Amino acid sequence: MSADSGTVVPNATQASGIPVAAQRKPRLALFIATACGLGYIPVAPGTWGSLAGLIIAVLPFWVAFVILLGPFTVWKIITEGTTWFSLGSVRPGLDRMLVLQCFIGLAVAAIGVWSASKASRYWSDDDPQRVVIDEVSGQHLTLLIGCGLPIWWRALESPWTNLPIGFVSSRSALNWKYLLLGFILFRVFDIWKPFPARQAESLPGGWGIMADDWIAGIYAAIGLWLARAAGL
């Protein structure tokens, strides 16, 4: 990811020849591209973007069980060890949590391409350091694939034995080990950029900004899945 000083030069021009200072600031696109301003943090903005990806993966669980069911219900689960939503109560068929996570992943990816393209044009930079929506999307993809794919040969255990941090699917709990390992693996592959991640940066506009992080996310997801398969 290229460095970006954050200074808008008044006489700088885009490829179209329109002065940067004369353009209308795409505030919504910049807000999304910087992950609600996290990209403006001067130290390791990509790391902060990855942390936002973790939050997005965990958030659906807390919205469903803390806000919709209420804090009292969650407190009973914690204190009494209630497992009324154990695997035995999950009906076969469409996994609504997994569908929701897939929808979130697709939405973040799509809006990321749009906002990154806008930010890239506005800042006259092919890959601005302040754009971290790509890290948000790549990190979420790591957890979605790495924890969403089942381990077919292992017996299923109830994810409600202890209150999990989040869920990718109704049968795939996110614990602190998965979150930490997924975070570390994604940061390693995002910095390393193994083939074809670096080559993907040459794609036009927001596609080039986002695609290398998707590839890094897939590599990290494979590592996370293998760790789960090994008994993590």
Residues 71-126 pLDDT 10s: 666 566 556 655 444 433 445 567 888 999 999 999 999 999 999 999 999 999 99
Q: Are 50 and 136 in contact (CB under 8 A)?
A: yes
The pLDDT score that the predictor gives to residue 58 is 94
- Residue 2: is its pLDDT beyond 70? no
129 within some domain: yes
Span 21-77, pLDDT tens digits: 457 899 999 999 999 999 999 999 999 999 999 999 999 888 876 666 666 665 665
Instruction: Tell me which residue of 19, 16, 14, 103 sits closest to 59, measured CA to CA.
Output: 103
191 within some domain: yes
Bridge partners, residue 169, by sequence: 172
84 within some domain: yes
Dist CA 97 CA 159 (whole Å): 14
Host domain of residue 181: 46-229
Mean pLDDT along residues 177-197: 96
Dist CA 228 CA 222 (whole Å): 10
16 within some domain: no
Mean pLDDT along residues 170-195: 94
19 within some domain: no
150 within some domain: yes
The pLDDT score that the predictor gives to residue 89 is 42
The pLDDT score that the predictor gives to residue 202 is 93
Which pTM does this prediction carry? 0.81
11 within some domain: no
The pLDDT score that the predictor gives to residue 87 is 37
87 within some domain: yes
Q: Of 44-48, 123-127, 160-164, 193-197, which gets the smallest average pLDDT? A: 160-164
The count of domains in the chain is 1
